Structure 1
């Protein structure tokens, strides 16, 4: 529940306030919040799942906005559907990968370490997207 609530609140706030003012740079704030939440969950900090949700919501809205900003208008519907499908696939693979890693290693620290590393990799991967101009 805290993760979902954080995601909902952050998505609304990012879409209505942050992205119009700061653009795609908001993605990095979202990933920083997500990384903070992951480390908090790993450390047993109360409320850290809510921070993960805040980070996810703060990242997702500017990411989708930036990605779709570079698509021709007549392709926007297809591109949005593809982004949604890839997001669902990524979430499924992430749960399978991290869950399998946790179960095979018997260590939550290993799974959280990989999750943190993937979050940092995502921040590096979106650098080009954040610096491109729209249509």
Structure 2
């Protein structure tokens, strides 16, 4: 089971304030623990939404709309993520609870979301085979 720990943005992260050295060290130790346990898939921080582009589809079948950042509502913005592959929801929660406060200062918020396995999206064997071929090219399986 794959899960993504979504780190929510704060006013500081949106202002481009870099984390303290202590926080960088704590997150590095945490990522090393995830890696040693064999559950880490990916982990990265994101630039502020002032550097972002949002693409929306306001009308079915219509042209996409491109909007440059920054975006106003901080609570809806993602500042970073960690993706893990674990055996259960409970294990994912345990790992999420071990993450240091991702922004420090008691402002961090993590949203834990399970990632769909492609077989949950479609039972079509042809589409599953095509998706598996793509994942093999990327160097990972389901």
Q: Which has the higher contact order (CA 8 A, sep 6+)?
A: 2
Greater share of strand residues, 1 or 2? Answer: 2
| TM-score, normalised by the number of residues in structure 1 | 0.30
| TM-score, normalised by the number of residues in structure 2 | 0.29
